[in-house]
Chains A and B, each alone.
Chain A
Amino acid sequence: MNLEDDLRRALQREAAPPDFAARVLARTRPRRAFLFAVAAAVTVAALVPPGIYQYRQRQKATEARDQLVLALSITQVQLLHIQQQIQHHTRHAQ
């Protein structure tokens, strides 16, 4: 026996066991599922909070707008009331 024969034997192509592919897939599947779950979680974490934040900001702005409209309408009603008083006084003075 010489070194060349030893190497040839050692490097000789061997057929994979019949369940080799199934075993490899079984090992990789859970990892792929885990990675998919992590990717989904990262995507959700990246997209949802800004969306919620924007929604809340919009909601707050709308509530504040309603309050501002009410405040300005009260102001207008009071100004209108004062204006009518002035007109009434002016008419009586003439």
Chain B
Amino acid sequence: MKLTWILIAAALPALAQQPGFDFKSLDKLAANAKETTNINLEGDALKAAAGLMGDAFRNLTSVNVHSYEFAKTGQYNEQDLAPVRTFLKSLNWTKIVDVKESDETSEIYLQALPDGKIAGLAVLVAEPKEVTVVFLQGALDPRDLKKLGGLGIPNIELDHGGKKD
């Protein structure tokens, strides 16, 4: 009986926190990229960083932004992005935006919470010479993204469209 409780207690943290995306599965992209930007923040570092930015981002649990820039077109193929889509599908993230142009794909995925907030935001943008993968996890109010405007970052109206100062 004791052993059962110990096993349950050990499993709880794993159940509470969903596994993060393994960016090593995008190593193929990184290998051919001219320039890569990898930002991975979680735990105490993220808490400290968010603490310096006010209340808006206090509930973030992990931030992963990976950007790959290529010298010329054709240095990656759609199949290289499959791990991202497979991961999001496996965790039942909802694809809310899917824009396909001749040489470009843009997708936004959300993990929704019942109270209207989001538990996670994923963005996948594949341009001919650039691929960007974003994973923001943690309770986040979509309106909080607007608060970035105060940091010198262009402000966005997510609901009505249009760029604000």
Contacts and interface: CB of A to CB of B under 8 A. Distances in A.
Interface residues of A, number: 27
B61 to A, nearest CB: 13
Interface residues of B, number: 37
A75 B133 CA distance: 9
Nearest to A66: B49
Contacts of A72: 57, 63, 145, 148, 151, 153
Contacts of B145: 72, 75-76, 79
Interface stretch (B17-25, B85-93, B155-163): B155-163
Given A75-B123, A76-B154, A79-B158, A61 B52 contact: yes
Contacts of B148: 72-73, 76
Interface stretch (A2-10, A11-19, A24-32, A84-92): A84-92
- The 4 lowest CB-CB distance pairs between A and B, nearest first, are A64-B49, A61-B48, A71-B65, A68-B49
Interface of A: 57, 60-62, 64-65, 67-83, 85-87, 89
